[in-house]
Amino acid sequence: MDTSEKVTAYIKKHEKWSKELSKLRSIFQKTELTEEVKWGAPAYTLNGKIVAGLAGFKNHYAIWFHQGVFLKNKENKLVNAQEGVTKALRQWRFEEGDPIETDLILKYIQEAIENCIAGKELKPKRKKEVSIPPLLEKAFKENKTLASAFKKLTPGKQREYANHISEAKRDATKESRLQKITPMIIEGKGLHDKYKNC
Protein backbone atom coordinates (compact mmCIF):
# COMPACT_ATOMS: atom_id res chain seq x y z
CA MET A 1 0.00 0.00 0.00
CA ASP A 2 1.45 3.38 -0.94
CA THR A 3 1.10 6.54 1.18
CA SER A 4 -1.99 7.79 -0.63
CA GLU A 5 -3.77 4.45 -0.12
CA LYS A 6 -2.78 4.38 3.56
CA VAL A 7 -4.19 7.89 4.10
CA THR A 8 -7.38 6.96 2.26
CA ALA A 9 -7.71 3.83 4.43
CA TYR A 10 -7.17 5.93 7.59
CA ILE A 11 -9.91 8.36 6.52
CA LYS A 12 -12.33 5.53 5.67
CA LYS A 13 -11.65 3.93 9.07
CA HIS A 14 -12.96 7.12 10.72
CA GLU A 15 -16.40 6.75 9.19
CA LYS A 16 -18.00 9.46 11.32
CA TRP A 17 -15.52 12.07 10.06
CA SER A 18 -14.46 10.68 6.66
CA LYS A 19 -16.09 13.50 4.67
CA GLU A 20 -14.51 16.18 6.89
CA LEU A 21 -11.07 14.52 6.98
CA SER A 22 -11.16 14.21 3.18
CA LYS A 23 -11.87 17.93 2.93
CA LEU A 24 -8.98 18.78 5.28
CA ARG A 25 -6.73 16.46 3.27
CA SER A 26 -7.63 18.33 0.05
CA ILE A 27 -6.63 21.61 1.77
CA PHE A 28 -3.22 20.16 2.67
CA GLN A 29 -2.81 18.93 -0.90
CA LYS A 30 -2.92 22.55 -2.08
CA THR A 31 0.33 23.23 -0.18
CA GLU A 32 3.95 22.31 -0.82
CA LEU A 33 3.89 19.77 2.02
CA THR A 34 4.53 16.08 1.40
CA GLU A 35 1.86 13.64 2.55
CA GLU A 36 3.17 10.80 4.71
CA VAL A 37 1.88 8.44 7.37
CA LYS A 38 3.35 8.79 10.88
CA TRP A 39 2.10 6.94 13.94
CA GLY A 40 -0.61 5.46 11.72
CA ALA A 41 -2.15 8.82 10.79
CA PRO A 42 -1.74 11.33 7.92
CA ALA A 43 1.19 13.71 8.45
CA TYR A 44 2.46 16.54 6.30
CA THR A 45 6.18 17.21 6.10
CA LEU A 46 8.61 19.71 4.64
CA ASN A 47 12.15 18.51 3.89
CA GLY A 48 11.60 15.56 6.24
CA LYS A 49 10.31 17.68 9.15
CA ILE A 50 6.75 17.14 10.36
CA VAL A 51 4.70 20.32 10.07
CA ALA A 52 1.14 19.10 10.67
CA GLY A 53 -1.19 16.14 10.60
CA LEU A 54 -4.79 14.98 10.66
CA ALA A 55 -6.50 12.83 13.26
CA GLY A 56 -9.94 11.39 13.84
CA PHE A 57 -11.22 10.73 17.35
CA LYS A 58 -14.50 9.50 18.83
CA ASN A 59 -16.03 12.93 19.47
CA HIS A 60 -13.94 15.20 17.27
CA TYR A 61 -11.41 15.35 14.45
CA ALA A 62 -8.40 17.60 14.37
CA ILE A 63 -5.46 19.18 12.63
CA TRP A 64 -2.36 19.07 14.77
CA PHE A 65 0.60 21.39 14.28
CA HIS A 66 3.85 19.78 15.37
CA GLN A 67 5.43 23.13 16.36
CA GLY A 68 2.09 24.89 16.90
CA VAL A 69 3.42 26.72 19.95
CA PHE A 70 5.01 29.20 17.50
CA LEU A 71 1.79 29.98 15.61
CA LYS A 72 0.27 33.41 16.32
CA ASN A 73 -3.20 31.88 16.71
CA LYS A 74 -4.97 35.26 16.51
CA GLU A 75 -8.28 33.52 15.80
CA ASN A 76 -7.85 31.38 18.91
CA LYS A 77 -8.37 28.07 17.11
CA LEU A 78 -5.55 26.08 18.72
CA VAL A 79 -5.53 24.17 22.00
CA ASN A 80 -2.85 22.34 23.93
CA ALA A 81 -4.13 18.75 23.92
CA GLN A 82 -2.40 17.92 27.23
CA GLU A 83 -1.77 21.05 29.27
CA GLY A 84 1.47 20.78 31.23
CA VAL A 85 2.60 17.73 29.23
CA THR A 86 2.60 18.81 25.61
CA LYS A 87 5.15 21.53 24.93
CA ALA A 88 5.23 22.28 21.18
CA LEU A 89 2.21 20.49 19.71
CA ARG A 90 -1.07 22.36 19.23
CA GLN A 91 -4.38 21.02 17.99
CA TRP A 92 -7.26 22.61 16.04
CA ARG A 93 -10.30 20.59 17.07
CA PHE A 94 -13.48 20.29 15.07
CA GLU A 95 -16.72 18.90 16.43
CA GLU A 96 -19.88 17.94 14.59
CA GLY A 97 -21.24 20.89 12.64
CA ASP A 98 -18.10 23.05 12.96
CA PRO A 99 -17.32 24.86 9.68
CA ILE A 100 -14.15 24.00 7.76
CA GLU A 101 -12.82 27.45 6.86
CA THR A 102 -10.48 26.64 3.97
CA ASP A 103 -8.81 30.07 3.73
CA LEU A 104 -8.18 30.31 7.48
CA ILE A 105 -6.82 26.75 7.62
CA LEU A 106 -4.49 27.54 4.70
CA LYS A 107 -3.31 30.64 6.56
CA TYR A 108 -2.40 28.54 9.63
CA ILE A 109 -0.68 25.91 7.46
CA GLN A 110 1.28 28.59 5.59
CA GLU A 111 2.47 30.14 8.84
CA ALA A 112 3.51 26.67 10.09
CA ILE A 113 5.47 26.15 6.84
CA GLU A 114 7.21 29.53 7.24
CA ASN A 115 8.09 28.68 10.86
CA CYS A 116 9.52 25.34 9.71
CA ILE A 117 11.64 27.05 7.05
CA ALA A 118 12.81 29.58 9.68
CA GLY A 119 13.90 26.64 11.87
CA LYS A 120 11.54 27.44 14.75
CA GLU A 121 11.54 24.30 16.85
CA LEU A 122 10.98 23.48 20.49
CA LYS A 123 13.17 20.49 21.23
CA PRO A 124 12.29 18.13 24.08
CA LYS A 125 14.43 18.66 27.17
CA ARG A 126 16.58 15.76 28.18
CA LYS A 127 16.08 14.52 31.72
CA LYS A 128 18.66 15.98 34.04
CA GLU A 129 21.51 13.93 35.42
CA VAL A 130 20.90 11.93 38.60
CA SER A 131 22.04 13.89 41.64
CA ILE A 132 23.53 11.45 44.17
CA PRO A 133 23.12 12.47 47.84
CA PRO A 134 26.33 12.40 49.98
CA LEU A 135 25.13 9.46 52.11
CA LEU A 136 24.65 7.33 49.01
CA GLU A 137 28.07 8.43 47.63
CA LYS A 138 29.67 7.32 50.91
CA ALA A 139 27.84 3.96 50.77
CA PHE A 140 29.13 3.40 47.21
CA LYS A 141 32.74 3.95 48.36
CA GLU A 142 32.29 1.46 51.18
CA ASN A 143 30.35 -1.13 49.15
CA LYS A 144 31.60 -1.72 45.61
CA THR A 145 28.83 -4.29 44.92
CA LEU A 146 26.23 -1.65 45.75
CA ALA A 147 27.97 0.94 43.53
CA SER A 148 28.19 -1.49 40.61
CA ALA A 149 24.54 -2.59 40.97
CA PHE A 150 23.38 1.05 41.13
CA LYS A 151 25.21 1.86 37.87
CA LYS A 152 23.31 -0.96 36.12
CA LEU A 153 19.91 0.51 37.05
CA THR A 154 18.00 2.71 34.59
CA PRO A 155 18.35 6.48 35.16
CA GLY A 156 14.72 6.53 36.31
CA LYS A 157 15.34 3.92 39.02
CA GLN A 158 18.57 5.66 40.05
CA ARG A 159 16.65 8.93 40.40
CA GLU A 160 13.95 7.24 42.53
CA TYR A 161 16.53 5.92 44.99
CA ALA A 162 18.54 9.17 45.11
CA ASN A 163 15.36 11.17 45.78
CA HIS A 164 14.20 8.65 48.40
CA ILE A 165 17.35 9.35 50.43
CA SER A 166 17.62 13.10 49.84
CA GLU A 167 13.93 13.77 50.61
CA ALA A 168 14.31 12.46 54.17
CA LYS A 169 14.66 15.34 56.66
CA ARG A 170 16.53 13.60 59.49
CA ASP A 171 19.87 11.83 59.20
CA ALA A 172 18.45 8.83 61.09
CA THR A 173 15.69 8.51 58.48
CA LYS A 174 18.25 8.74 55.67
CA GLU A 175 20.31 5.97 57.33
CA SER A 176 17.23 3.80 57.82
CA ARG A 177 16.17 4.28 54.20
CA LEU A 178 19.68 3.42 52.99
CA GLN A 179 19.57 0.13 54.97
CA LYS A 180 16.21 -0.78 53.40
CA ILE A 181 17.14 0.04 49.81
CA THR A 182 20.65 -1.48 49.75
CA PRO A 183 19.45 -5.10 49.16
CA MET A 184 16.88 -3.87 46.60
CA ILE A 185 19.57 -2.05 44.60
CA ILE A 186 21.88 -5.09 44.71
CA GLU A 187 19.02 -7.26 43.39
CA GLY A 188 18.52 -4.78 40.53
CA LYS A 189 15.04 -3.80 41.67
CA GLY A 190 13.48 -0.36 41.43
CA LEU A 191 12.14 1.40 44.51
CA HIS A 192 8.53 1.13 43.31
CA ASP A 193 8.74 -2.16 41.34
CA LYS A 194 6.41 -4.04 43.68
CA TYR A 195 3.64 -1.51 42.95
CA LYS A 196 4.22 -1.48 39.18
CA ASN A 197 3.21 -5.12 38.77
CA CYS A 198 -0.16 -4.73 40.50
Q: What is the pairing mode between strands 90-94 and 61-65?
A: antiparallel
Query: Does the residue 94 lie in any domain?
Result: yes
Alpha carbon distance 135, 171 (integer Å): 9
104 plus 153 within the same structural domain: no
Q: What is the dihedral of CA 6, 8, 10, 14, to 10 degrees?
A: -170
pTM over cut 0.85: no
Within 10 angstroms of residue 148's Cβ, the number of other Cβ atoms is: 12
Q: Among 54, 83, 117, give the residue marking a domain's end.
A: 117
pLDDT tens, the chain, 198 aa long = 899 999 999 999 999 999 999 999 999 999 999 999 998 999 999 999 999 999 999 999 999 999 999 999 999 999 997 777 788 999 999 999 999 999 999 999 999 999 999 999 987 666 667 889 899 999 999 999 999 999 999 888 998 999 999 898 899 999 999 999 999 999 999 887 765 543
Q: Among 117, 143, 164, give the residue marking a domain's end.
A: 117
Residue-number span of the structural domain to which 152 is assigned: 134-196
Backbone angles phi, psi at 20, to 5 degrees: -70, -45
Q: Tell me the H-state helices in the chain.
A: 3-13, 18-28, 102-117, 134-142, 144-152, 155-166, 171-186, 193-196
Alpha carbon distance 100, 96 (integer Å): 11
Query: Does the residue 129 lie in any domain?
Result: no
CATH number of the domain that residue 94 is part of = 3.90.1150.200
Contact predicate 54/67, CB 8 Å: no
Query: Does the residue 128 lie in any domain?
Result: no
Q: Among 61, 85, 117, give the residue marking a domain's end.
A: 117
Alpha carbon distance 195, 110 (integer Å): 48
Query: Does the residue 92 lie in any domain?
Result: yes
77 plus 33 within the same structural domain: yes
Alpha carbon distance 123, 121 (integer Å): 6
Query: Does the residue 125 lie in any domain?
Result: no
Number of domains in the chain: 2
